[in-house]
Structure 1
Amino acid sequence: MTRYIGILDGSNNVWGVRVPDLPGCHGGGVSPEQAIADAAFAVCEWTEARIAKHLPVPKPRALVDLLRSGEIDSASGDSAVIVRQR
């Protein structure tokens, strides 16, 4: 099972998770848990579409690499979460 780092943001009942290693891959929900679950489903769909087109699937980067890149902005409320490919 592949694990990607997702970036969780939101408040109240609007939450989102984007997966920076998979451009355009994201999930959402009314709670952080639902957004993470939706993102896991999106990761599966995203990777299956790439495989069907005979395109490579990017390997997940380490959390430290995402932090160094500035893609996670904890000052604005971003949080890193694990998104498992189901």
Structure 2
Amino acid sequence: MTQDEIKAQLKQMLIERLFLNVTPEEIPDDEPLMDALGIDSVALFEVVVGLEDEFGITLDEAEFDVSLFRDINTMSQFVEQKLATQEA
């Protein structure tokens, strides 16, 4: 899965799980999600569950850090690393 595919899937997941009234194109790759989309701690939990469901990855407590959810670029890099680790 390429970075662009991961980003597209992340944006779609955010829209669906957080019931956002935006298109994927309206979510910038480098804009802080907490500000741009108004994500709070409850929504962040939904994003974590979405990552696990959509990509089949598991986020354990030791690696959980709010900074992982800063923007689409950061999230996609994390997902790419997790997928590579699971495939190895």
TM-score range (shorter-chain normalised) is 0.3 to 0.5
Which structure dedicates a bigger proportion of its chain to strand? Answer: 1
Which structure has the larger Rg over C-alpha atoms? 1
Which structure dedicates a bigger proportion of its chain to helix? Answer: 2
